[in-house]
Structures are given as structure tokens and as C-alpha cells.
Chain A
Amino acid sequence: MNEITKALKAAFPHTIPVFTGFTFLGIAFGILMNTKGYGLGWTVLMSLLVFAGSAQYVTVNFLTSVFNPIYVLLLTLIVNARHLFYGISMLDKYRDTGKFKPYLIFGLCDETFSILCSTNPPEGVNRNWFMFFITLLNHSYWVLGSALGGLLGYMVSFNTKGLDFVLTALFVVIFIGQWKTQRNHGPAIIGVLCSVICLIIFGRSNFIIPSMFAILAVLTVFRKKMTGEGIA
């Protein structure tokens, strides 16, 4: 038991920034779900099972439109495509995690990844429990934040028109963050251009899947050039 407490104590400080962020975004998500007519139960269930902010925000749009499960699956796949890269990066660190492994992989969101790939437990702290608690704490913040938002949605009745924009803001901020750290802006530009062109050609309800194929095709064609410019 002492070993477990020690790991929890070592893990907690690393998760404080995520606590702040997930509370804010979780509340926004809970309120958003509420404005779309979905109560606390649905909000908590989604945060518990999906545990992926951007995917959940996108999914909200599909709760209030035509029933289209295949689109949700495909969109979640492309929204979360970056996780493939996280997974590849963590192959080595997660190799000997035994019974923790399934949950560690399940909870590998952007924030958990950024902490775990850059942090090692202090001397004498069990590595598996340490990584488990960072994942679990982040997961809990997200679920509790969403629950809080779901509750606030019942009690506070301020004008929430435009609150969905928090999603756009999130992606714009991620886009800018990536732009600043990347020398080669090709993949970002390809993503925007292919999508805009497909949006114009196929219209707003049908452009996502063509965009995905267009992006894959263009990225494949320009692979040599991208690799040459030091991206891969």
C-alpha cells in the first residue's frame, strides 16, 4: 500500500496543469452537452468511455443531427489520428507495464502523453503505478469537470450562444502550437487546402471523407519531399 501511496504522491504534481485545463474544458463540454439537451448521465458516460476532448466535441454535433454512426467512427479516427504517433512513441515505455498496459493505452490522451513522454518517476517510486496514476488522475479530472459542467448547466442559465466556439478555439490553438514548433508547414497546409477544396466541391455535409482521402493521397505523393525536409 505504501508503494501505491508513494506513486500517487509523486504523480499528482505533474497533473496540476491538466487539472486546470480539464476542469475548464470539461465544464465547457458538460454545459455544451446540456445546451444540446443531454444531461449529467450522458455527459459522464461519454467522458468516461471516450476520454478524448476533441472527439467528444465533434461527437456532440452528431447527437443533434441525422443518426450517422459510421461518420462518427471515421471522424473519431481522423480526429484522433495523432494518437497513432503517441502510441508509436510509447511502444518502448509501455513494454513492461503488464496488467497496467491496457488502461495506460486506453487513457493515452494528448495531455497524458505529453507528461509521460517527458517525465520519469523519482528514485524509489514504482514506474508502473506512477504512470497509472498520471493517466488515472487526468481521466478523473476530465470526468469530474464534465460532471461539474453538466450540473452547472442545470443551475446556471446564462446565454450560452456561441459556446460551441470553444471547440474551434481549441483546434485553432493546437494548429498554431503545431505551426510554431514545426519547420515544415506542408502537412498543415495540405490539411487545410484539401479540406477547403473538398468543402467547395462536395459541400459541407459530405466533404470529410473525400478530404481524408485527398489528404492521404497528397501526403503520399509528397512523401519524398516531406521526408527530405526533415519531418519524418
Chain B
Amino acid sequence: MTLTPVQTLIIILMATLGTVITRFLPFILFSGKNGNHPYITYLGNVLPYSAIGLLVVYCLKDVNLLKSPFGLPEAVAITCIALLHYWKNNVLLSIGTGTIVYMFLVQRVFQ
């Protein structure tokens, strides 16, 4: 544990606040007579896709392509996930297999 208990609690409350804001905001903004503003509707439609793209990059931010193992465990695991997901279309199977493949690679192959 690197943060103090109070700091940990603040971090958890911030994550709660952020989540609560994203869930309640539309109901606060567009309750009653307020119709949907076209621009907000547009962002609500496109942001989910961009945000997941950002997240994938965020998760891979520490991968160093210039140093061994050159991002190979990530590349192999993500390829497995993509192939499996296109083939079986089963969220849990894809996530489970991808994670096991990755753990095997970083624990046994590229130590």
C-alpha cells in the first residue's frame, strides 16, 4: 500500500463521484421539458467508441517496443482475443483466454 488510508478513501470517493456524475448528469440536464441538445446527443453517441480506444492505449502505455520483449506478450494476447472474439463472440471466453495467454507468456516464456 503506497497511499495512506485517508488518501485511499479519497481516491475511492473520487471514482465514485466520477461514476455518479456520468450516470446522473443526463437525468439532471434533460429532465422534464428540456429536450436533448443535438451536440450532447452527438457526443453521447460517439464518445463511448473514442473512450474505449483511449483506454486500450492507456492500458498499453507502459509497453516498450524498443526493449525486449518488444511488446510481444501484449501483441500475441490481443491477437488471440481478437481472433477468438470474432470466432466465438463470447465476452468471458475472450477475456479469460486472453488473460491466461498473457499470464503464461510473461510468467513462462518472456521472463
- Chain A residues proximal to chain B, CB less than 8 Å: 20-21, 24-25, 28, 36-38, 42, 45-46, 49-52, 54-56, 58-59, 62-65, 67, 69-70, 72-88, 91, 94, 101, 105-106, 108, 159-163, 165-178, 180, 182, 186-196, 199, 204, 207-208, 211-212, 215-216, 219, 223, 226-227, 231-232
Report whether A87 and B26 are in contact in the complex, using a CB–CB cutoff of 8 Å.
yes
Task: Give the dominant DSSP class at A's interface.
Answer: helix
A residues in contact with B21, CB < 8 Å: 77
Known: A176-B82, A208-B54. 15 other contacts (CB 8 A): A42-B8, A54-B55, A88-B44, A91-B26, A94-B27, A105-B23, A108-B23, A159-B107, A162-B99, A162-B106, A169-B95, A171-B55, A177-B91, A188-B50, A212-B54
Selected A-B contacts with CB under 8 Å, 22 pairs:
A52-B15, A64-B1, A65-B2, A72-B15, A84-B40, A85-B48, A88-B41, A161-B103, A162-B103, A168-B59, A168-B102, A172-B82, A172-B98, A173-B91, A177-B91, A187-B46, A187-B47, A188-B49, A190-B53, A195-B57, A207-B61, A232-B46
Report whether A171 and B26 are in contact in the complex, using a CB–CB cutoff of 8 Å.
no
Q: Which chain B residue shows the least CB distance to A176?
A: B85
What's the minimum C-beta distance from B73 to chain A, rounded to whole angstroms? 8
What's the minimum C-beta distance from A46 to chain B, rounded to whole angstroms? 5
Known: A169-B95, A170-B95, A190-B50. A161 touches B107 (CB 8 A): yes
Task: List which B88-111 residues lie within 8 A (CB) of chain A.
Answer: 91-92, 94-96, 98-99, 102-103, 105-107
Report whether A173 and B81 are in contact in the complex, using a CB–CB cutoff of 8 Å.
yes
Report whether A49 and B30 are in contact in the complex, using a CB–CB cutoff of 8 Å.
no
Q: Which chain B residue shows the least CB distance to A188?
A: B49
- Chain B residues proximal to chain A, CB less than 8 Å: 1-3, 7-8, 10-27, 30-31, 36, 38-62, 73-74, 77-78, 81-82, 85-86, 91-92, 94-96, 98-99, 102-103, 105-107
Report whether B2 and A64 are in contact in the complex, using a CB–CB cutoff of 8 Å.
yes
Q: How far is the CA of A180 from the CA of B91 in the complex (A)?
A: 13
Known: A21-B92, A178-B48, A219-B46. A171 touches B56 (CB 8 A): yes
Q: How far is the CA of A64 from the CA of B7 in the complex (A)?
A: 11
Max chain A C-beta neighbours (<10 A), residue from B46, B95, B102: B46
Known: A63-B8, A168-B74, A178-B52. A49 touches B41 (CB 8 A): no
Q: How far is the CA of A94 from the CA of B73 in the complex (A)?
A: 45
Report whether A63 and B11 are in contact in the complex, using a CB–CB cutoff of 8 Å.
yes
Q: How far is the CA of A191 from the CA of B48 in the complex (A)?
A: 9
Known: A38-B1, A63-B11, A76-B15. A81 touches B48 (CB 8 A): yes
Report whether B53 and A191 are in contact in the complex, using a CB–CB cutoff of 8 Å.
yes
Report whether A169 and B43 are in contact in the complex, using a CB–CB cutoff of 8 Å.
no
